[in-house]
């Protein structure tokens, strides 16, 4: 591969993304179903690329891009550090505690149940399927294309060569399940009176439908924290993410060559980015007073869009056909799991604005943060349910549990420690339920349509 090969691949990717954004702005079906432009572009790339019609001259390297881009994405997450507010946690302990338990439970159930299902059922029925197969559902559904690329790459290094293609397919199906299943659930919830802030599905703004924001509704992507006379602000933030991305790769390569240990590169890059966050500091003398988190987030999100494109466009259809039956069973189990977590567990573990909070986690658990955010904005455009605020506060609680699954999971599942891995996440799931019951965060007996808004001051003495 040469730099010009890279240029051509990204040029055609950009053309298809641009075309898909135009189609999203014009085609009613795409608007009604909130199809992301990057996902649509990925399907176009798959159809027009070498894997099918072979009309576009993509190189044979497009399948490797996702594994590199994900390093950048994880570095962008780490460089922004953690957002945690003890004050808010103390004042709204019940609401956030219940939400944190629910969020962790959803992740752990989505990890352990498909793994157990794959070991007990799929692997026994189809002996060629290894014990790591079930983790691809969680990687694709909960983690999205980025995590699917990372976990798939780790599996490939351990000998599971089809893992990346299967993970990308799982992520694609997850996003579609998130969008279509989420929209159907929202329509049902509005009709039954479970929503608080939008009572009619038709109230959705044109900005969200078309994806094109009107001038009056536009907001700034970030501030110029660096003078362009010295250095362009975007170049400064880009360098801030590229440093841990490259250092993470070099450090991981050194570890592998020196001690023979094989860690996922995205994990090392994430850790390096967190160390930079700590060392550079956020105080008066720290570099971070010149860092705009919104700009960092936008750069990471931009990389994710290209990751989605290359992840879908590079899927090897023969591999998917070979695994069609077990993959179909795994995807069906995943869709059932997330629906149960939305409609049964969601109201049991959330009291105020239960549906708004549950539908966000549903979207998060079937694709990426953006899918959850899209569904939430449909029914809570002003964040009155405080879902995003609470997500920012309790989010760090998920990080070590999630990183352990993506980093250690493949090696444990393929190395004979599959029951130990599944047992860890089963145990965490049980602990979440016990904590919710003990702390009186279990609201199952309260009617679904008799729940207050998150801003309500209603006493909870009847719980």
Q: What is the DSSP string of 149-180?
A: HHHHHHHHHTT-TTHHHHHHHHHHHHHHHHHH
C-alpha separations of 195 from 128, 208, 454 in Å: 46, 19, 12
How confident is residue 460, by pLDDT bands cut at 50, 70 and 90?
very low
The predicted pLDDT at position 455 comes to 52
pLDDT tens across 105-145, in order? 999 999 999 999 999 899 888 877 899 999 999 999 988 88
Q: Which residue has the higher pLDDT, 91 or 154?
A: 154
- Write the CB contacts of 91 (distance below 8 Å, at least 6 apart in sequence): none
For the chain, what percent of residues have pLDDT higher than 90? Answer: 45
The predicted pLDDT at position 445 comes to 87
**Region 29-54: what's the mean pLDDT?**
88
The predicted pLDDT at position 82 comes to 57
- Write the CB contacts of 440 (distance below 8 Å, at least 6 apart in sequence): 94, 463
Q: How far apart are CA 182 and CA 176, in angstroms?
A: 9
Taking each helix axis from N to C end, the angle separating 93-117 and 324-340, rounded to the nearest 10 degrees, works out to 160
How confident is residue 398, by pLDDT bands cut at 50, 70 and 90?
confident
**Region 165-173: what's the mean pLDDT?**
91
How confident is residue 95, by pLDDT bands cut at 50, 70 and 90?
confident
The gap from C-alpha 56 to its chain's centroid, in whole angstroms, comes to: 29
Token readout for 244 is 């841990």
Token readout for 451 is 């729940």
Q: How far apart are CA 272 and CA 388, in angstroms?
A: 26
**Region 49-63: what's the mean pLDDT?**
89
How confident is residue 423, by pLDDT bands cut at 50, 70 and 90?
very high
pLDDT tens across 322-374, in order? 899 899 999 999 999 999 999 999 999 998 889 999 998 998 898 766 678 77
Q: Which residue has the higher pLDDT, 195 or 128?
A: 195
Q: How far apart are CA 165 and CA 232, in angstroms?
A: 38
**Torsion sign over Cα 247, 249, 250, 253:** positive
Closest alpha carbon to 426 in 407, 408, 401, 406: 401
C-alpha separations of 319 from 67, 114, 392, 414 in Å: 18, 20, 38, 20
pLDDT of 421 > 70? The answer is: yes
Q: How far apart are CA 102 and CA 397, in angstroms?
A: 12
Question: 128, exposed or middle or buried, with CB in 10 Å at 0-12, 13-18, 19+?
Answer: exposed
pLDDT of 146 > 90? The answer is: no
Contact criterion met (CB below 8 Å) for 33 and 183? yes
The gap from C-alpha 337 to its chain's centroid, in whole angstroms, comes to: 17
């Amino acid at each position: 591969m040469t730099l010009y090969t890279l240029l051509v691949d990204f040029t055609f990717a950009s053309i298809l993304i641009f075309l898909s954004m135009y189609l999203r702005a014009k085609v009613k079906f795409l608007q009604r179903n909130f199809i992301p432009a990057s996902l649509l572009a990925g399907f176009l790339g798959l159809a027009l690329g070498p894997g099918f019609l072979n009309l576009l001259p993509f190189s044979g390297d497009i399948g490797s891009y996702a594994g590199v881009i994900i390093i950048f994405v994880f570095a962008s997450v780490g460089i922004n550090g953690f957002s945690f507010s003890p004050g808010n946690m103390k004042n709204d302990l019940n609401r956030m505690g219940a939400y944190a338990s629910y969020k962790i439970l959803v992740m752990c159930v989505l990890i352990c149940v498909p793994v157990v299902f794959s070991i007990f059922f799929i692997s026994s029925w189809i002996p060629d399927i290894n014990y790591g197969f079930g983790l691809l559902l969680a990687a694709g559904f909960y983690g999205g294309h980025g995590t699917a690329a990372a976990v798939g790459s780790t599996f490939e290094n351990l000998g599971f060569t089809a893992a990346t293609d299967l993970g990308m397919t799982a992520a694609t199906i997850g996003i579609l399940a998130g969008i279509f299943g989420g929209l159907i659930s929202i329509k049902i919830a509005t009709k039954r009176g479970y929503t608080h802030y939008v009572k009619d599905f038709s109230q959705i703004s044109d900005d969200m439908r078309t994806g094109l924001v009107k001038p009056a509704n536009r907001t700034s992507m970030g501030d110029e924290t660096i003078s362009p006379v010295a250095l362009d602000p975007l170049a400064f933030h880009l360098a801030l993410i590229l440093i841990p991305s490259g250092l993470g790769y070099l450090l991981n390569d050194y570890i592998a060559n020196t001690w023979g240990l094989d860690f996922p590169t995205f994990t090392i890059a994430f850790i390096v980015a967190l160390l930079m966050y700590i060392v550079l500091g956020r105080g008066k003398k720290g570099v971070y007073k010149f860092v705009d988190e919104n700009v960092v987030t936008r750069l990471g999100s931009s990389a994710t869009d290209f990751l989605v494109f290359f992840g879908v466009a590079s899927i090897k259809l023969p591999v998917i056909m070979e695994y069609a039956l077990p993959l179909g069973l795994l995807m069906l189990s995943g869709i059932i799991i997330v629906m149960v977590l939305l409609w049964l567990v969601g109201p049991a573990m959330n009291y105020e604005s239960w549906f708004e909070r549950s539908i966000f986690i549903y979207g998060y658990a079937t694709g990426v943060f953006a899918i959850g955010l899209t569904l939430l904005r449909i029914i809570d455009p002003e964040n009155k349910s405080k879902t995003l605020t609470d997500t920012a506060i309790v989010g760090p609680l998920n990080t070590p549990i999630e990183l352990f699954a993506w980093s250690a999971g493949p090696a444990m599942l393929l190395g004979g420690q599959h029951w130990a891995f599944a047992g860890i996440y089963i145990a965490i799931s049980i602990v979440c339920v016990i904590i919710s019951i003990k702390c009186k965060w279990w609201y199952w007996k309260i009617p679904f349509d008799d729940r207050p808004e998150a801003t309500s001051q209603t006493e909870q003495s009847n719980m």
